[in-house]
Structure 1
Amino acid sequence: MCADTSQTPDYKTTLNLPQTDFPMRAGLPKREPEWLERWARIGVYDRLRDKSDGRKPFTLHDGPPYANGHLHIGHALNKILKDMVVRSQQMMGRDARYIPGWDCHGLPIEWKIEEQYRAKGKDKDEVDIVDFRQECRKFAEGWIDIQRDEFKRLGITGTWDKPYLTMDFRSERIIAEEFQKFLMTGVLYQGSKPVMWSPIEQTALAEAEVEYHDKESFTIWVKFKVEGATVAQDLSGAYVVIWTTTPWTMPSNKAVVYGENFAYGLYEVTSTPDESWANVGDRFILADKLAGDVMARARLDEGMYTRVRDVTAEDLSGLALQHPLAGVEGGNGEWDDLRDFRAADFVTDEEGTGFVHCAPSHGMEEFELYRDLGMLEQVITYNVMEDGRFRDDLPLFGGKAILKPNGKEGDANKAVIDKLAEVGGLLARGKIKHSYPHSWRSKAPVIYRNTPQWFAAVDRPVGDGQDEYGTTIRERALNSIDKLVTWTPKTGRNRLYSMIEARPDWVLSRQRAWGVPLTCFVKKGALPTDPDFLLRDEAVNARILAAFEAEGADAWYKPGAKERFLGNDHDADQWDKVDDILDVWFDSGSTHAFVLRDREDGSEDGMADLYLEGTDQHRGWFHSSMLQACGTIGHAPYRGVLTHGFTLDEKGNKMSKSVGNTVAPEDVTKQYGADILRLWVAQADYTADLRIGPEILKGVADSYRRLRNTMRFMLGALAHFSEADRVEPADMPELERWVLHRLAELDEKVKSGFETYDFQGVFQQIFNFATIELSAFYFDIRKDALYCDGDTARRRAARTVLDVLFHRLTTWLAPVLVFTMEEVWLERFPGEESSVHLVDIPETPAAWLDSDLAAKWAHVRAARRVVTAALEVQRTDKVIGASLEAAPVVHVQDAERLALLKSVNFEDVCITSDIQLTGDPAPSEAFRFPEVEGVTVVFERAEGEKCQRCWKILPDVGIHAHPGTCKRCNDALG
């Protein structure tokens, strides 16, 4: 019979139910700005610096974003990663400093100001250069303020009130000082060589300023007539055929080269179709491997030509060639000289004709070939001007433009092709789509153009005596990579090493206005090779630096600057002031000097523990910082380099505004909150490209809710917990000691993960621990004791463990969920001065580790899985509604395991009202779980009545002083 419960009191108020105001709905978009204001008000970052005095420093040096435009998701990824590094290092006991900075000089800002001028009909060249620079400065300042607020909104900590800016007067002074070291130690020189040149922006570009896109180019097959006194009779009058995708370089042709070990043949045309430019009797020298393709381009079928004979290397060595425009009317003899013809190792027989036309002013390989031959004076031309037009006095083509001002195809290629066709110089023509370099700013194609530029020699000994890592910039860089720097991931080492191993000299100069000038003077009339070409005077340098400190780099451009800096020591009429500006990568490469070495909050030894940027910075900031530092301090400026991938949409596609698949950080924070964006970073493998989109963010938000639920449970159960409730581990039940063991294991993994910047690994382990081992196991089991026990040792032990868990989980997760963990912390420890970000991760006693106990509870948990699976079948079949209605019989085949299960309150572990453990053979109908052998379950209903307080079904319910209760609940009620 069932007991009459109609007169049973309502025991709900007697339970120790969770007490917390912590809401399940986070409301992050609204609440996060409040915490930002609070942190600023109580000065968390400054208080950490005071607290950290005497600690081992950790310095992450911020690679400066460009002060131009709103943040994109890549910015958010980068800054959040940096923040997680800094915060985790700080909470592990370091003095972790973070000085954010901005890159302020350079063409993108200059380009914006010029656009504004063009819109107003103003001519930049008519504006005073100092006024122009001031407008650039103002433009940068505006974007710095915008980006600073956007970064802070993501929860990034640092010295936001005192960031570093490359355009600060002191920064400009130190950049100039770093350049002067290159000047004084002999690695600076002026040279003339082909560099990537933007005709639209009219400046040289660094490799890092170039991106590659498909481009459709004209392609032509051009005939060079064979000349020479020693030429075999059947080769005289034949043609060497070249192929090029840059017809505009033909007026600058000075030579043709061939492959010394290729098989060449002489081919004669025997018949032609009407539309071919070939004539019957024409003889062409071609690489045999490519001859068929060339003839097909000339619209000649196999039956229309014949191979006459081999053309040997000896034959080729005796040839000279005539430019197809030789003797052309109106050519004024420009192309009448015979072209040089020789072997070169950069020729291939994979495409083209087996011959390469050389315009050394527009190709690095050709330039290096003739440089090494000592023949540059004979082959260098200056046919292409800064704006990409042919010089006005170039016969036939003067004024023709390679590109229009809008970056589209100009009229130079067509003019050259038409003239070559007119004089019979073409064999074939066509178009090709290929990957081609473009300026990442203007998006227009770039060209190789020979111009006088200033270079840092990477293989010239640096005369500074700092030779521990080598005597040249390249040696120092390569040795630093292997001996000084730790790479995360390790593949970053190979990428930078191969780049520096093969790189040419560093082009330092740009022909623009907004930047730090090359603060040097050259002697009028002297050649760059003359020993007194460059002025090297410490007194002059000091005057320049003092002026920059007080007035900024604008001082270089003010009237009378040359006379001011040369002073009475030198005749100003004998010297020219260089007005080119430094490559902005020299600016950012110098940041170690004015951030790490110059600031009080920089680095004690002038080096960073970590540089952290995207993989593109192997050719950008990592690269330029390495070169610059190796030229000034003799080694890398960093001990560690971490690289992350790019951001893609959910399908793995590159993000594009035109496609509409971008994800703006601002949109994510408005919808979900910054903590969701931070959690996305923590969950992802940043060493590869990262995907993000609406569905991915929904999954991240779900993970967040599960974590928040874990924290809310702890807060509720810890209400009114005090030191008087604390229990020592030795006095705790096994289950609590198992949790402490798992905490000690996890603490080691978390700290190790933080040390190696493995945030994904750290988060996965914490998340699985919180949701699987705590919420789904430990909390599930201990809810009964926490809610229903009186002041028992078991309940006090559980609450002690929850307090221990609370301090670990909040501090472990604080570097990631900066806002949420602050909310959790303040729920327990309110107060104006309180903050989770002011505490460290607690030390976890090694004594908590208990491998024997862990092994025992691994068996307990495995057996529990069998029981819960068996009960789930009964629940699904609607035999029972809750596990407390069951009292299963558990058959355990192994006697040792049976004894082990009997030594714990297995019914509590399985959340049943009773349980029977037996070693008897299991009946055939017993439930079996394939993953756990030797444990089977026979379902039985619990016997007795339902306790109206704890809901367990027990035989003794109804026989105690308090109606409808079991003994445990009756005792709890007193």
Structure 2
Amino acid sequence: MADSPDTTELKRDYRSTVFLPKTDFPMKAGLPQKEPAILARWLEGDIYQQVRRSREGREKFILHDGPPYANGDMHIGHALNHILKDMVVRTQTLLGKDAPYVPGWDCHGLPIEWKVEEQYRKKKLNKDEVPVKEFRAECRAYAQHWVDTQREQLKRLGIGGDWDHPYLTMDFQAEATIVAELMKFAESGQIYRGAKPVMWSPVEKTALAEAEIEYEDITSTQIDVAFEIVESPIPELVGAHAVIWTTTPWTIPVNQGIAYGSDVEYVLLSGEGFHVLAAEPLVGAFKERSGLVHLQPVRHLKGSDLAGTVARHPMHKLGGFFAKPRPFLPGDFVTTDQGTGLVHMAPDHGEDDFELCKANGIDPVFAVDGAGFYRPDWLWLGGQGSVINNKFNAPDGPICTDLRDAGALLAASADFLHSYPHSWRSKAKVIYRCTPQWFVAMDKPLTHFSPETRAEQRWDNEGGADPVDETQGATLRQLALNAIAQTRFVPEKGRNRIGSMVEQRPDWVLSRQRAWGVPIALFVERKTGQLLVDHDVNRRIVAAIREQGVDAWDPENAAAFLGNRNPDDYEMVADILDVWFDSGSTHAFVLESGRWLEQRWPADLYLEGSDQHRGWFQSSLLESCGTRGRAPFDAVLTHGFTMDAKGLKMSKSLGNTISPIDLMKEHGADILRLWALSVDFTEDHRIGKEILAGVADQYRKLRNTFRYLLGALADFREEEKVGIEAMPELELYMLHLTAELDKKLRHAVNDFDFNSYTRLLSDFANNDLSAFYFDIRKDVLYCEVNAESGFQTEKRRAYRTVLDEMFQALVRWLAPVLVFTTEEVWGTRYPDGGSVHLLEWPQIPDVPADDGRWAKLRELRAQVTETIEPLRREKIIGSSLEAEVTVPELLATPDQLAELFITSTVHGGEALSVEKTDHHKCGRCWRYLPEVEEDGTLCGRCEDVVNA
């Protein structure tokens, strides 16, 4: 029906009186375009130093950065790791602490040397023909290139830090400190030179640390070899053959004995004049491999009966080394899991072999050279190899062929599947190889440092006690295990992981046979073979390296270092240090260095991937315990590995790697940060297209929350605020929820639980604000103000007061997560307000908890919404404002409930029900109310506001 002329004249357009949110903050983020401009402003204004100055004199929190390797572009693991570190630093800074962050890089070692050698090989040049100082300079330049590259990539991620002054292990000062730390080990009697089997890469021609090893399944040749017994206290054994089984045929030319288990049951088998000895439980498998099924047992005996038995090598006719008797030795490591129960001993190529043979006066012979070839003078296969070559070890290869010709090869097949160690750099198989190396003893009691060293050493223990004095006589293993017990681990399972590794680890192999690294800058007296421990000599060496870098360790400087000693009497150690000693020493030249005065020792936290329990965490622990008696950290946080969307390990060969650089170009850094802080990073976690799409949706909702707040707070003034005593019940409830969130977030920061931290903020923004509070109060925001006169109700002032509190809280809480977006948000509201990252943790009003009534009201609201929804789908009502609701219990006044439900009216009744109202619609607020006489006219509230 058309309105009558008189009615039309009574109506007017009230839009100019209604408040409509307005903001320049766009809904579309455009992060890939905006973030670089924000980053440029930060760098120009040196935001890092601004933050440092703002926290000067405050309680410190020190996260010491574990050095990534300066080799290649940043990968997704780098991104996750540095986002987590940045989150730690930013949340601690937000709490008001002085939390500096000095990034660093590991610059020495084989990976870089290997890459430079690759460049040489492409040019058909021989590295060994290049002067070593020139070669090191190329390695230094290569490392610097990738430091600079990774630095820019990490800046782009929004990582805040002292990027102009990172620490590099190849800086001269760092190299000098690493050498000084080595000398402390030497002075306390922990270093020795010995020959024992270590992991050795024939491809890279150097010893490797356990942390440089990865295990892959391979198929090897397994062989059964007969050793003729020539002596035994058991007459029947003489002339019989002891059968050994191995998956490393190349070790047979270095055999020096046979191990048996004293408690193992053995059996002598006989048939057609041929007699063999093997463990009884393994006879069946041996017969199947060898085809000697006709052999039958003729005598059973205990392993201990084999004492005094001697065999001869299958190649004994060659004479020399091979003519020597091969004794039977009792080994507690011998089992009947596989093989024959008799284990051939090659002390050059196995830890158990070495220890057992050493205990029985049998020394290694060093038959295999660094490239994996038998030395030229070796009687059998001299000059041949490589020992890791499958063809060399194959059933038809030279080893098996010679054993077969000698009548000693009983079985051979290239079908044994097992896990085998590989170098993680070259991906080539490694071997155990006995070579002279430098070691740190794990189980030797520490002695005192020299008085000069103690005087110069910086200790930072409470009370000023010298920890080495307190732990006098303790071993490095004991000190490390004690430190582990006193360290906080997040997650807790990290304690057992690193603890079991330290309990079982052998002595630390310090030496590497390469060129690019910190030298083992020690002298050895030629006559005695003893290390020269002279503090004055050490000081001169350290001073020279501080001036010239590692090139200072040169024979031409030997006389200057030694002072009044004769250089001809001393050998300069030519090896370099294990790079894990480099990185394990970083605490000494970063946390204790005058260069970074804002640091302190020990660090509050070390944070790296779980692989670093055997890497940097452990090397830092051992280095610090060996020189300071305790760990260089109070807590260790470990993260898992990033897998693809299917849960598979990322690999270039699989084509499932994801570049964080490409992701930032497509999505922006804040999306990547939100992903990293939303996953349970303490476990292995996933990333993929669909996962990132979900993260982008999560980001969009957070951005829209900020957009609403900015629009709703347009033109907000401090004088608008009202006190808590004047606030409606809903506002008090929302402040209470915010205060509860504050407690949960503080707890999450303390636990480094950033997954919960981020989820709490997302849930609060989506569920408590957007879907609840904003939804209910939008009517008050829009309508309880006269946009023309400026009048607003107390309720609206209270709402905007709470919105301001929430804005101030959310922008701070989310600043460590969405570093660029929150800067954009803050700058939109406060164009001249400086950086959001200078702000501190918000102060939330303490509002007492309600009696649980609001939880019941929210549950009832959800039920009402669910009941209304079918009526909307069926077009019976257009919106909830057209609904009249009956509820079985009035938990508030009908008007309060109608406001809460966003409905027309609410009545009490027997059951929950909804029907369409027959009330008229207010022409300004669009509510359907009994007081509105006709559609388009005003309700009492709107009339009061319009006339104010």
Cα distance in 1 between the residues matched to 2:500 and 2:31: 46
Residue from 894, 907, 915 that aligns with 2:906: 915
Mapping for residues 461-860 of structure 1, pairs under 5 Å: 461-464=445-448, 466-468=468-470, 471-483=474-486, 485-527=487-529, 533-557=530-554, 560-567=556-563, 569-601=564-596, 605-790=600-785, 791-831=792-832, 834-845=834-845, 847-852=846-851, 855-860=852-857
- Describe the SS at the equivalent of 1:448: strand
CA distance in 1, matches of 2:174, 2:149: 21
What is the aligned counterpart of 1:197 among 189, 197, 200?
200
CA contact (8 A) 1:401 1:412 kept: no
With 258-267 and 77-86 compared, the bigger mean Cα shift is at: 258-267
- Give, in whole Å, the separation in 2 of the partners of 1:970 and 1:229: 116
| SS of residue in 2 equivalent to 1:217 | strand
Q: Retained in 2: the 8 A contact 1:402–1:412? A: no
1:403 deviates by 4.7
Q: Are the aligned partners of 1:97 and 1:601 in contact in 2 as well (CA < 8 Å)?
A: no
Aligned to 2:286: 294
Matches of 1:793 and 1:561, distance apart in 2: 84
Shift of 1:862: 1.5
Q: Does 1:342 align with 2:329?
A: yes
Does the 8 A contact of 2:220 with 2:390 survive in 1? no
Contact 1:540 1:565 in 2 (8 A): yes
Counterpart in the other structure of 2:464: none
Asked if structure 2 preserves the Cα contact closer than 8 Å seen for 1:3 and 1:958, the reply is no
Whether the 8 Å contact between 1:263 and 1:287 is mirrored in structure 2 is: yes
Q: What is the distance in 1 between the residues matched to 2:406 and 2:157? A: 66
Deviation at 1:959, TM superposition (A): 7.3
Partner residue of 1:306? 296
Q: What is the 5 A alignment of 1:129-168? A: 129-168=132-171
What is the CA RMSD across the aligned residues, in angstroms?
1.7
> Take 2:125 and 2:308, find their aligned partners in 1: how far apart are those partners?
58
Spell out, residue by residue over 1:301-345, the C-alpha distance to the aligned partner (whole angstroms, 9 max, x if none): 4xx221112123353124211111112xxx233211110102110
CA distance in 2, matches of 1:396, 1:320: 21
> Is 1:880–2:877 an aligned residue pair?
yes
The alpha-carbon distance between structure 1 residues 614 and 848, as it changes in their structure 2 partners (threshold 3 A), is same
Shift of 1:628: 0.5
In 1, Cα distance between equivalents of 2:751 and 2:304: 61
Quick one: distance in 2 between partners of 1:394 and 1:692? 54
3-state DSSP class of the match of 1:218? strand
Structure 1 letter corresponding to 2:774: F
The runs of 4+ residues in structure 1 deviating greater than 3 Å are 1-8, 407-413, 467-470, 599-605
**CA distance in structure 2 between the aligned counterparts of 1:560 and 1:333, rounded to whole angstroms:** 42
Amino acid at match of 1:672: H
Q: Report if the CA contact (8 A) 2:268-2:278 is conserved.
A: yes
Structure 1 counterpart of 2:351, from 333, 348, 364:
364
Structure 2: runs of 5 or more not aligned? 449-466, 786-791
CA change 1:937–1:472 in 2 (3 A) is same
Any idea what the Cα deviations from partners look like across 1:228-270, whole Å, max 9, x if unmatched? 16332x222111100001111111111101111111111113x
Q: 1:600, CA displacement in angstroms?
A: 4.8
Distance 1:553 1:314 in 2: 55
- 1:452 partnered with 2:452: no
Choose from 27, 34, 38 the match for 2:37: 34
Unmatched tracts of structure 1, length 5 or more: 270-279, 528-532, 893-897, 923-935
Taking a change above 3 Å as real, the CA distance of residues 314 and 739 of structure 1, as seen in their structure-2 partners, is: closer
- Cα deviation for residue 411 of structure 1 reads 6.8
User: How far apart in 2 are the matches of 1:621 and 1:691?
Assistant: 24
Q: Report the equivalent of 2:944.
A: 971
1:211-234: CA deviations, max 9, x gaps? 1111221111010111216332x2
The answer for the alignment partner of 1:927 in structure 2 is none
Tell me, yes or no, if the aligned pair for 1:400 and 1:412 is still in contact at 8 Å.
Answer: no
> 1:408: how far off?
6.7
2: distance between equivalents of 1:6 and 1:507? Answer: 95
Cα distance in 1 for residues equivalent to 2:897 and 2:3: 27
Superposed, 1:231-250 pairs within 5 Å as 231-232=234-235, 234-250=236-252
After TM superposition, give the deviation of residue 903 of structure 1 in Å: 7.5
1:315 and 1:838 map into 2 onto residues whose CA distance is: 78
* Structure 2 counterpart of 1:236, one-letter code: V
**CA 1:45/1:78 → structure 2, altered by over 3 Å: closer, same or farther?**
same
| SS of residue matched to 1:639 | strand
How much does 1:161 deviate?
Answer: 0.5
Aligned-partner SS, 1:213? strand
SS in 2 for 1:95: coil
Partner of 1:316: 306
- How many residues align structurally? 917
Change (3 A) 1:671 1:642: same
Distance of 1:474 and 1:518 partners within structure 2: 22
Describe the shift of the 1:447–1:575 C-alpha distance in structure 2 as closer, same or farther (beyond 3 A). same
State the secondary structure of the residue aligned to 1:261.
coil
> SS where residue 866 of structure 1 aligns?
helix
Question: For residues 887 and 411 of structure 1, what CA distance do their matches in structure 2 show?
Answer: 87
One-letter amino acid of the counterpart of residue 548, structure 2: E
User: Closer, same or farther in 2 for the Cα pair 1:752/1:903, shift >3 Å?
Assistant: farther
Q: Deviations over 1:770-824 (max 9, x none)?
A: 1011110110000000011120010000000000000111111111111111111
Q: 1:603 to 1:261 in 2, by over 3 A?
A: farther
Q: How far does residue 571 in structure 1 lie from its aligned partner after superposition?
A: 0.3
SS across alignment from 1:87: helix
Structure 1 contact 361–381 (Cα < 8 Å) conserved: yes
For 2:316, what is the secondary structure of its paired residue?
coil
Q: Give distance in 2, aligned partners of 1:318 and 1:597.
A: 59
Counterparts in 2 of 1:229 and 1:876: CA distance versus 1, 3 Å: closer
Q: Does structure 1 conserve the Cα–Cα contact (< 8 Å) formed by 2:643 and 2:685? A: yes
Deviations 1:435-462, CA, capped at 9 Å, x for gaps: 1101111110000000000001111122
Q: Give the whole-Å Cα distance in 1 for the aligned partners of 2:912 and 2:30.
A: 45
Q: Is the 8 A contact 1:169 1:548 kept in 2?
A: yes
**Which TM-score applies when normalising by structure 2?**
0.95
Query: Which shows bigger deviation, 650-659 or 464-473?
Result: 464-473
Instruction: Among all aligned residue pairs of Structure 1 and Structure 2, give the percentage whose two residues are the same amino acid.
Output: 51
Cα distance, 1:954 vs structure 2: 2.1
- Corresponding residue of 2:462: none
Q: How far has the Cα of 1:410 moved from its partner? A: 4.6
CA contact (8 A) 2:583 2:620 kept: yes
CA 1:62 to 1:668, structure 2 compared with 1: closer, same or farther past 3 Å? same
Contact 1:242 1:356 in 2 (8 A): yes
- 2:917 maps to a residue whose letter is A
Contact 1:610-1:642 within 8 A present in 2 as well = yes
Contact kept? 1:481, 1:493, Cα under 8 Å: yes
Counterparts of 1:205 and 1:838 in 2: how far apart (Å)?
46
Aligned counterparts of 1:469 and 1:15: Cα–Cα separation in 2:
76
Measured in 2, the distance between the counterparts of 1:797 and 1:2 equals: 41
CA contact (8 A) 1:522 1:535 kept: yes
